[in-house]
Structure 1
Amino acid sequence: MTKLILKFSITDEDDGQQSLSLGWQIESGENEIMNELAERVRDDVLAKLKSIIEKIDEGKNHAIH
């Protein structure tokens, strides 16, 4: 079995901005197809999250770590 674990958090910065942190962990299994799928899902989630933030908060600065 392969597991993809995503963790999200928002922190307030000293300048009043908020920072979104996205952490992930992939626990690889024996099936290479499932391992590759987990990596691709992770990449797609990160890309989609960046796109959503840009649409919601145009003109605001955000850092995704």
Structure 2
Amino acid sequence: LNTPPHIKPEWYFLFAYAILRSIPNKLGGVLALILSILILALLPFLHTSKQRSLMFRPITQTL
């Protein structure tokens, strides 16, 4: 089952679409998608700086 080339998802699904299209194995694509979402969800908890304010976090500054 192949998606026609002219069909593109909405902008908020483009990251998932790009991950799934870049990995030819379907299971590998789904696992990579889940892993990328988990990394983004766990990123705030992995931050170990002494400064707790959002002002000093580099990811917050780039947003």
- Larger relative CO (CA 8 A, sep 6+): 1 or 2? 1
TM-score of the alignment, normalized to the shorter chain, above 0.5: no
Structure ID, larger Rg: 2
TM-score interval, normalised by the smaller of the two chains: 0.3 to 0.5
Higher helix share goes to which structure? 2
